[in-house]
Structure 1
Amino acid sequence: MRIALVIISLLYSTTTLACECLWQGPFKAVYSDADLVVYGKVERSQGNGFDLSINEVIQGSEYREQIRIWGKKDNLCRPEASEFPPGSQWIMALKRIDNPPEDAFNPFKANISFGRQDDFSLSSCGVYWLAVNEARVSGNILGGSRWQYLDPKKTPVIMPVFQAWLQKILPDEALAEAARPQSEARKLLNETKIFLWEDQRNLLPEPEQESDEQFGPVRPNLRSGLPAEKPQETIAEPSVNDLD
């Protein structure tokens, strides 16, 4: 009887602490509604929170160079903080914590918290985070199955292509093509093309050097205040032999 009660209580607690939310979709479907979209690096992690150093603010505004992000707690629909180890880099679409509840902080569990005022939370109800490794972005940016955050069949997208898509310079079709599964030969060819393109883009044409005598400004005569006359070409007098 006692064992049955324990099992029932465990099942009840698991049910009550389960996260319930509707799947919001891939990164494209969720990032525009976020309070802050950033690219950064995890510096440290403790309990259900971690600190992220911001490399770039993609959307929104934030004056701090480092922010605290809170993950899973009880039945909150958030990912486990352990999924974001120190040293890892991410693009995250975050919600700012405003007016946290009175029980946000438990003094008996100092490392577990709902979050502090003006900290940020990360939702697990969509693709709210994308992994970045060696300047390549991984994750379901445009589409994917429900509750699928990463499709291992897709090719990571290089950061310049992802940024161009965010700025609406590249359409969805171009990003989808970049993420399409590639053979090793095609991947090497594309990386070579990208390298040559970036190298060519960084080359600036050198300014043409003009002749000072032909296009130089006329220097004024400081004594008379009038423009100095250009030196006259010296014409050699004809010699006797020339007159013959």
Structure 2
Amino acid sequence: MKKILFLTITLFLFSTKTSACDCECAGDCTFKSISEGMEFVALVKVVEFSDYLEENIPGYEGKMPSSMTVEIIKKYKGKDSRKMIKIWGDDGALCRPYTANFEIGEYYLIAPNLITAPNKNESKTDYEFFSCFVDYLKVDFKNAVAYGDYTKRTNKITLKKFEKNLNK
């Protein structure tokens, strides 16, 4: 019986998928805190998924998008003057959220990082998110409200109040 239990536990440990990004946030990593420290903050609309991973991701149907093109609806901070930007997601080995977490046609408040060390197909003018931070919030555009971990105590904020509070 002990051998079977040991074998079962061993097989379980070797068969579980480990994450390439094992991080914990030290300090305040809510959207309010992160967006105050970022150079670029904007309200965007997801236009399309732009690139796809070559390999399949377990648990995801079809090809996993690896980047998305977003339209800048309103820029709150930053020098980037483009109307469209590309944001890259995880490839299974990076500390980024999967692009499939986003929806085409939906709106988001974002505070992404400019890519400094581009991977294959990426550019230094593209952006990325970091999985250990709250650097994007989903937005109900019709009601002008963003949802998610805005602060440790607030999980929604109006866009008007967000703009007023930014770097206050």
Matched residue, 1:137: 146
Q: Which has the larger radius of gyration?
A: 1
How far residue 10 of structure 1 moved from its aligned partner, in angstroms, is 4.7
SS in 1 for 2:36: helix
SS in 2 for 1:48: strand
SS in 1 for 2:80: coil
Question: Aligned partners of 2:95 and 2:157: how far apart in 1?
Answer: 28
Higher fraction of helix: 1
Runs of 4+ more than 6 Å apart: 6-9
Matching of residue 120 in structure 1 with residue 127 in structure 2: yes
Matched residue, 1:43: 47
Question: Aligned partners of 1:35 and 1:77: how far apart in 2?
Answer: 20
TM norm structure 2? 0.73
Matched residue, 2:23: 21
1:184-235 CA distance string (max 9 Å, x none):
xxxxxxxxxxxxxxxxxxxxxxxxxxxxxxxxxxxxxxxxxxxxxxxxxxxx
The one-letter code sitting in structure 2 at the alignment partner of 1:29 is S
Matched residue, 1:89: 107
RMSD of aligned C-alpha atoms? Answer: 2.5
1:83-124 CA distance string (max 9 Å, x none):
111101001111111232xxx22xxxxxxx6x3221000111
Higher fraction of strand: 2
1:45·1:85 contact (CA, 8 Å) conserved in 2?
A: no
Question: Aligned partners of 2:74 and 2:163: how far apart in 1?
Answer: 11
Question: How many residue pairs are counted as aligned between the two chains?
Answer: 143
2:45·2:106 contact (CA, 8 Å) conserved in 1?
A: yes
Question: Aligned partners of 1:18 and 1:33: how far apart in 2?
Answer: 25
Question: Where does structure 1 lack aligned partners over 5 or more consecutive residues?
Answer: 106-112, 145-150, 169-244
Matched residue, 1:76: 94
Question: Aligned partners of 1:75 and 1:35: how far apart in 2?
Answer: 26
1:162-196 CA distance string (max 9 Å, x none):
2212253xxxxxxxxxxxxxxxxxxxxxxxxxxxx
SS in 2 for 1:125: coil
Matching of residue 33 in structure 1 with residue 37 in structure 2: yes
Question: Where does structure 2 lack aligned partners over 5 or more consecutive residues?
Answer: 1-7, 51-64
The one-letter code sitting in structure 1 at the alignment partner of 2:138 is A
TM norm structure 1? 0.52
Percent identity (aligned): 26
